[in-house]
Amino acid sequence: MRSSLSEDIIQVKQEVDSLKGQIDELQYKIDKMSHSQSQQETELNSTLRNWKTESQNDIEKRVAQLDRKIQALENKQAQDKTELQNKTNIIVEEVSKENKELRREIESIRRTPAQTSAKSPKTLNKIVSSQEGYYTVAPGDTLMKIAQSFGIPIKTLMEANSISDPNSIQVGQKILIPSE
């Protein structure tokens, strides 16, 4: 029995040694897998950081491009506004000059009633026409505004120009300004 027990002990020792070898081998594989996992995590984190940085850079570049486009549009808008204001000022100046000249001409016609009072409306229109007593309709003008600015009734203005609908005047249209 002793031999059998010794053999059993030897066999158990061999099995324990075998198991220790297997445990060592498993521990080595675990360590190797843990190291591999750690490397993969490091690579993944590095890749994510690079991707995040690249994405942020791309976004920042895109935002910078959009900012430049917005600035260019704002500059163009300001330039267009300035040009429009300058053109508007020129038009207002020209209209004011023309309006003053027309008022002078009308006043001149009104000061000479002896020459025009005995004449028929057709003759009167010819006198005013020959003295360039016309007004060119500008944007925003109405027949009422034109009549008021020249101090004449709208009806007189409509009759002198054969206008049946006071809303039918067009920008650029020449309106005869009769003397009353």
Q: Which tens digits make up the pLDDT trace of 131-166?
A: 458 999 999 999 999 999 989 999 999 999 999 999
Whether the pLDDT of residue 9 is over 80: the answer is yes
Helix, strand, coil share (%) of the chain residues, nearest 5: 80, 5, 20
- pLDDT for position 112: 58
**% of the chain with per-residue pLDDT over 70:** 86
| Separation between Cα atoms, residue 124 and residue 134, nearest integer Å | 13
Tokens of 14: 């061999």
- SS3 for 174? strand
Average pLDDT of the chain is 83
Q: Backbone phi, then psi, for 15, in 5-degree steps? A: -65, -40
Q: Which tens digits make up the pLDDT trace of 115-140?
A: 444 334 433 333 344 345 899 999 99
- pLDDT for position 6: 84
Q: Which tens digits make up the pLDDT trace of 40-71?
A: 999 988 888 888 888 888 888 898 999 999 99
> Would you say domain 118-180 falls under CATH 3.10.350.10?
yes
Contact assessment for residue 165 and residue 144, using Cβ atoms and an 8 Å cutoff: no
Task: Please provide the DSSP assignment of 123-164 as one string.
Answer: HHHHHHHHTT-EEE--TT--HHHHHHHHT--HHHHHHHTT-S
- pLDDT for position 49: 86
Task: List all residues 6 or more positions away from 153 whose beta carbon is below 8 Å from its beta carbon.
Answer: 147, 180
Is this structure's pTM higher than 0.85? no
Q: Which amino acid is at 56?
A: Q
Q: 135 pairs with which residues across the strands?
A: 175
Show me where the domains of the chain are located: 1-111, 118-180
Contact assessment for residue 121 and residue 179, using Cβ atoms and an 8 Å cutoff: no
